């Protein structure tokens, strides 16, 4: 019996002790969570107080406010998708709150400013304005409201806390806008702020978990396997719009919850870092200027041309050592502390978008296929002339600002790189977004150089063409073949349309001529130079070139209330090739040489680059100086890549070979159609053994694969 008593007591004691320690542990964890939540709350409030809050502007808002908390210069009646000036009320309410609560502000604690902020808040709570655009009701207004509540906090009455939270709760997980992709993670951020304001640990923890789940590769909306981003099921690239907001939100919260028990998992941070460096940043010229070619209806907004902020890469660098050196270098580039020295070639096969960066220049190609729509729909009546924007647009940049402010005056049927029927007018803006018609659209790249190509079929006009772009270290070649149209209007391929800077030089076989202002039709030219870029023609070509004042207005491309018909004027350089009416099998060929001197075009043609073929079945180029051949096979075929050496493929593909003397050193292959599982490649004069190349499948179909030689 004594033995039993002695054994029972320690067991009972151990259970009691375990339970007691669990209580203490839970209490400690709860206490730690409370402390962590308070730390995060203070960080978020500090961010809201960080922007300036000038005395003059704050006092103007306070003195001009009506007794009911509104302002006479705001139209509170128009709640339409293109109006909703109520946003100005929200901005002023937040500004006044910041001026009153910001330490060091000249109006810190000022009673008049406090009264104005409170009246503005009371007015909105009483009216609860709703916009016909869901975004304001579920994101814009709730976002402004919760920021205001966090700033004012203990100054608020119980009624203001309750009423303000009701409006802030418009951002909710079961709302229309909380769809996977860009908006859901931003809405989660707003709900996270609600949790901080309410000191709700459970709610904040659930927000962090939802954000974590959003950082994933998706086959629908969201982050794609190629590191591009699709906001909608139309599969139109939105890396620089919704995809940037997606990354900004995650990186912001990652840095604000770092060092607490709520921190994101390392795997999520790594994936987001990869996306930011390999997706977003590689969609920008020199890593900091958003590429025109990757944009959508946002380019029809005034003052949207700007270099990217250093905030997101800085936030990512704070929370992890993963690729930290690259992130810190990007921060320095964006702060103008480091001159970019970047080089890459990247094809985003889920978005039909190619970018090519050299230390001194950047270029891109944007296409569309049957796997996506041609362009983003003009939601909220923005981007009203974008019908042809993704029809093989090709932008080249040496400074990042070549197209700034040009879009109100642009001729939207002369998109750089695109072949377009020159109609009297574009269709209605409701006809912009069309399902693509061609399977064969793609790119091939080894990470350093590459090519893009499309079997182009216009969803708007009876027009088709085979188009390809071949990119090398110092230049690229643009080929078009089989251009056919049944439309009753002329067809043109535009080489460029950009802001006019300096003189335009015309290079002929006999002399260089300075183009006078106006529009000129040149019958036989070897090349054109403008603002440091040479456009070179392998054979003398007839072109239409202009250096003239163009007029337009913002209203023609955007119907938001700010967009007026006030005339905008810009001097514009345009260069294009006219294929005439109803071409049956037209062709074009030109080279683009960024950083070229005026005389380079006279000696460039044929010196290093040779066009091996430019037909509807095969487009191919050889760079003699580098021993590189790039080819686009629209059907099985053969190309001669060197004297006595041919290359034969069993099916449609894009292919690049790098040679060392007469020996093949490297081969890279892709299948733009995404239909083949394998491809047979045979090189004569080197060996007679065909190589069977296994092609990527699933979410990797369309990507490039290196062939072992």
E-only strand ranges, 486-616: 490-499, 504-507, 512-514, 518-530, 533-552, 568-581, 586-594, 609-614
- The predicted structure's pLDDT at residue 267: 96
Q: How many CB atoms lie within 10 A of CB 351?
A: 28
Tens digit of pLDDT for each residue in 656-705?
A: 999 887 788 899 999 999 999 999 999 887 566 688 999 999 999 999 99
Looking only at the bridges linking them, the beta strands covering 653-660 and 663-670 are antiparallel
36 touches 204 (CB < 8 A): no
Tens digit of pLDDT for each residue in 415-435?
A: 999 999 999 999 999 999 999
- The predicted structure's pLDDT at residue 23: 36
| Per-residue pLDDT at 10 exceeds 90 | no
Q: How many CB atoms lie within 10 A of CB 663?
A: 10
Which residues does 552 contact at the CB level (< 8 Å), separation at least 6?
A: 408, 409, 410, 567, 568
The residue that leads in pLDDT, 562 or 602, is 562
| Alpha-carbon gap, residue 337 to 440, rounded angstroms | 43
Number of residues assigned to the chain: 709
Mean pLDDT throughout 61-84?
Answer: 97
H or E segment and range at residue 600? helix 600-604
- The predicted structure's pLDDT at residue 508: 84
E-only strand ranges, 169-322: 222-223, 229-230, 284-285, 289-290
Determine the straight-line distance between the first and last CA of the chain, rounded to whole angstroms.
83
Which residues does 447 contact at the CB level (< 8 Å), separation at least 6?
A: 344, 345, 346
Q: How confident is the model at residue 22 (pLDDT cuts 50, 70, 90)?
A: very low
Q: How confident is the model at residue 12 (pLDDT cuts 50, 70, 90)?
A: very low
Mean pLDDT throughout 311-327?
Answer: 97
SS3 assignment, position 28: helix
**Residue carrying structure tokens 């209580």:** 23
| Alpha-carbon gap, residue 513 to 315, rounded angstroms | 52
pTM of the model: 0.92
H or E segment and range at residue 164? helix 158-168
Mean pLDDT throughout 397-410?
Answer: 95
DSSP code per residue over 546-570: EEEEEEE-GGGTB-STT-----EEE
477 touches 589 (CB < 8 A): yes
Q: Where do the domains of the chain lie, and which CATH numbers do they carry?
A: 361-707 (2.70.98.10)
The residue that leads in pLDDT, 25 or 51, is 51
DSSP code per residue over 446-462: -SSSEEEEEEEE-SSSS
**Residue carrying structure tokens 């061609």:** 438
698: left (phi > 0), else alpha (psi -120 to 50), else beta? left
Tens digit of pLDDT for each residue in 185-198?
A: 999 999 999 999 99
533 touches 604 (CB < 8 A): no
């Amino acid at each position: 019996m004594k033995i039993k008593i002695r054994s029972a007591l320690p067991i009972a004691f151990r259970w009691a002790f375990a339970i007691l320690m669990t209580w203490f542990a839970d209490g400690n964890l709860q206490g730690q969570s409370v402390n962590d939540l308070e730390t995060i709350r203070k960080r978020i409030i500090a961010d809201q107080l960080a922007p300036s809050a000038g005395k003059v502007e704050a006092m103007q808002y306070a003195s001009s406010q009506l007794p009911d908390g509104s302002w006479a210069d705001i139209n509170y009646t128009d709640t339409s998708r293109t109006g909703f000036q109520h946003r100005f009320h929200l901005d002023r309410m937040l500004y006044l709150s910041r001026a009153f609560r910001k330490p060091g502000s000249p109006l810190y604690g000022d009673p008049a400013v406090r009264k104005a902020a409170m009246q503005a808040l009371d007015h909105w709570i009483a009216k609860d304005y709703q916009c016909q655009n869901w975004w304001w009701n579920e994101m814009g207004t709730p976002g402004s409201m919760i920021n205001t509540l966090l700033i004012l906090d203990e100054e608020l009455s119980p009624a203001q806390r309750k009423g303000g939270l009701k409006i802030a709760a418009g951002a909710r997980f079961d709302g229309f806008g909380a769809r996977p992709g860009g908006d859901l993670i931003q809405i989660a951020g707003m709900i996270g702020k609600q949790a901080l304001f309410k000191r709700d640990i459970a709610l904040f923890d659930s927000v962090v978990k939802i954000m974590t789940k959003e950082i994933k590769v998706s086959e629908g909306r969201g982050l794609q396997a190629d590191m591009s981003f699709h906001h909608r099921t139309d599969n139109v690239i939105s890396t620089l719009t919704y995809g940037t907001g997606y990354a900004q939100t995650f990186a912001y919260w990652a840095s604000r919850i770092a060092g607490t028990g709520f921190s994101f998992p390392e795997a999520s941070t790594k994936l987001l870092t990869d996306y930011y460096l390999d997706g977003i940043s590689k969609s920008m010229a020199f890593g900091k200027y958003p590429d025109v070619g990757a944009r959508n209806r946002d380019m029809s907004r005034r003052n949207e041309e700007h270099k990217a902020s250093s905030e997101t890469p800085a936030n990512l660098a704070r929370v992890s050592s993963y690729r930290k050196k690259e992130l810190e270098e990007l921060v320095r580039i964006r702060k103008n502390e480091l001159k970019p020295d970047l080089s890459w070639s990247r094809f985003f096969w889920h978005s039909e978008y190619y970018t090519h960066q050299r230390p001194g220049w950047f270029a891109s190609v944007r296409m569309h296929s049957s796997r996506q729509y041609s362009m983003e729909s003009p939601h909220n009546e923005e981007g009203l002339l974008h019908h042809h924007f993704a029809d093989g647009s090709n932008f080249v940049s040496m400074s990042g600002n070549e197209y700034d402010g040009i879009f109100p005056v642009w001729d939207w049927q002369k998109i750089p790189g695109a072949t377009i029927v020159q109609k009297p007018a574009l269709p209605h803006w409701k006809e912009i977004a069309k399902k693509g018609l061609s399977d064969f659209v793609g790119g091939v790249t080894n990470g350093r150089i590459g090519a893009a190509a499309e079997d182009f079929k216009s969803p708007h006009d009876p027009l088709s063409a085979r188009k390809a772009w071949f990119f090398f270290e110092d230049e690229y070649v643009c080929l078009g073949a089989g251009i056919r149209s049944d439309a009753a209007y002329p067809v043109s391929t535009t080489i460029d349309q950009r802001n006019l800077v300096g003189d335009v030089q015309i290079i002929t076989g006999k002399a260089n001529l300075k183009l006078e202002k106006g529009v000129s039709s040149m019958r036989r030219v070897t090349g054109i130079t403008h603002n440091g870029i040479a456009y070179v023609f392998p054979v003398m070509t007839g072109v239409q070139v202009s250096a003239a004042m163009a007029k337009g207005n913002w209203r023609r491309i955007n119907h938001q209330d700010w967009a007026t018909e006030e005339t905008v004027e810009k001097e514009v350089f345009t260069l294009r090739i006219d294929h005439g009416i109803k071409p049956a099998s037209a062709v074009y060929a030109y080279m683009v040489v960024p950083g070229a001197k005026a005389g380079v075009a006279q000696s460039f043609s044929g010196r290093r680059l040779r066009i091996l073929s430019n037909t509807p079945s095969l487009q191919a180029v050889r760079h003699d100086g580098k021993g590189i051949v790039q080819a686009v096979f629209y059907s099985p075929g053969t190309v001669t890549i060197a004297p006595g050496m041919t290359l034969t493929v069993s099916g449609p593909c894009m292919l690049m070979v790098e040679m060392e003397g007469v020996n093949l050193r490297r081969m890279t292959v892709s299948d733009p159609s995404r239909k083949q599982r394998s491809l047979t490649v045979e090189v004569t004069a080197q060996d007679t053994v065909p190589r069977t190349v296994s092609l990527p499948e699933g979410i990797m179909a369309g990507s490039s694969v290196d062939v072992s030689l």
